[in-house]
């Protein structure tokens, strides 16, 4: 048996989540013995905590976590993740907006807890960088995995509870995945990201993201180019101003070799 945590927190008929989820669940319910914990208008942390309690009570093998602003779930995705036999493993997903970067993250810089406001963590020296596949394996260990489509062995929660760690008993502003990833780190439980499939987040299909990045980079380049030209046209140039303008243009082109001014 696998318990599925489905918090439909922000009910919006325009979201792409529900039709995709219905299709996925119908194809997998019987084959995987799924027990769905689907809650509407409930805080995500509460729905997740109750799903874990159900999994422990029923001695389920795993808990599958999803979120209501994701979609495009692979029909055989659960089979793919279970085959890896990892304590914690989920598919890659991406930010909703520019730069549409990976939400699987690697930590570097000063060792620091993942639990805290973004500004405080940055001030403390914690650096989180997007984790992409690169030239590595399809499945890689990561520091931060989100709830887009992530399966966790129920035994992970037994191990966390045994040492007094309960990742879903906190309500914002720090998200539950920060608590979960940090508590797993504290307990020596590894997390893995699977790059075999990208889960959509928000409006955009992952296959469209390279094109969207190119479009946005071009737009930002044009804006910077216009700013340079406007700065140069403010006043009649003196010889000193001309030299400064030439230097500005040279520096701009050095940073943006594809932009002609």
Taking CA atoms, 191 is separated from 22, 33, 86, 88, 149, in Å, by: 27, 24, 8, 5, 13
Given CATH 3.10.310.10, say whether it is the number of domain 2-204: no
Place of tokens 């659960």: 78
pLDDT at site 76: 97
pLDDT at site 5: 97
Q: How far apart are CA 107 and CA 70, in angstroms?
A: 24
The predicted-structure confidence for 25-79, as pLDDT tens digits, reads as follows 999 999 999 999 999 989 999 999 999 999 999 999 999 999 999 999 999 999 9
pLDDT at site 258: 44
Residues of the chain with pLDDT under 50: 237, 256-261
Q: How far apart are CA 74 and CA 20, in angstroms?
A: 9
Neighbours of 214 (CB within 10 A): 10
Between strands 88-93 and 191-201, the pairing is parallel
Tokens representing residue 132 in the block: 């992409």
Tokens representing residue 115 in the block: 């639990």
pLDDT at site 70: 96
What is the DSSP code string of 129-194?
A: EE---TTS-SEEEESB--SSEEEEEHHHHHHHHHTT--TTS--SSS-HHHHHHHHHHHHT--EEEE
Inter-residue contact 89 to 150 (CB < 8 Å): yes
pLDDT at site 251: 60
Q: What per-residue string of b and e applies to 55-78 under the rule 16 or more CB within 10 Å gives b?
A: bbeeebbbbbbbbbbbbbbbeebb
């Amino acid at each position: 048996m696998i318990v599925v945590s489905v918090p439909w927190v922000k009910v919006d008929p325009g979201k792409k989540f529900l039709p995709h989820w219905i299709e996925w669940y119908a194809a997998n319910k019987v084959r995987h013995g799924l027990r769905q914990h689907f809650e509407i208008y409930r805080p995500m942390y509460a729905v997740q905590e109750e799903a874990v309690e159900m999994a422990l009570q029923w001695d389920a093998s795993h808990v599958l976590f999803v979120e209501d602003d994701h979609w495009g779930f692979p029909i055989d995705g659960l089979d793919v993740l279970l085959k890896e036999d990892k304590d914690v493993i989920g598919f890659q997903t991406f930010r909703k907006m520019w730069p549409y970067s990976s939400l699987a993250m690697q930590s570097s810089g000063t060792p620091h807890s993942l639990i805290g406001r973004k500004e405080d963590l940055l001030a403390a020296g914690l650096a989180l960088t997007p984790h992409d596949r690169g030239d590595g394996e399809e499945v890689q260990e990561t520091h931060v995995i989100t709830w887009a489509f992530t399966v966790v062995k129920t035994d992970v929660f037994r191990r966390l509870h045994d040492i007094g760690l309960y990742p879903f008993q906190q309500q914002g502003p720090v998200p539950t995945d920060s608590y979960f990833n940090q508590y797993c780190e504290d307990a020596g439980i590894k997390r893995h990201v699977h790059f075999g499939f990208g889960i959509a987040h928000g409006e955009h299909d992952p296959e469209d993201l390279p094109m969207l990045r190119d479009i946005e980079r071009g737009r930002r380049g044009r804006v910077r180019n216009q700013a340079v030209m406007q700065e140069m046209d403010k006043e009649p140039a003196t010889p000193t101003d001309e030299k400064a303008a030439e230097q500005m243009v040279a520096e701009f082109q050095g940073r943006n070799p594809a932009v002609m001014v």
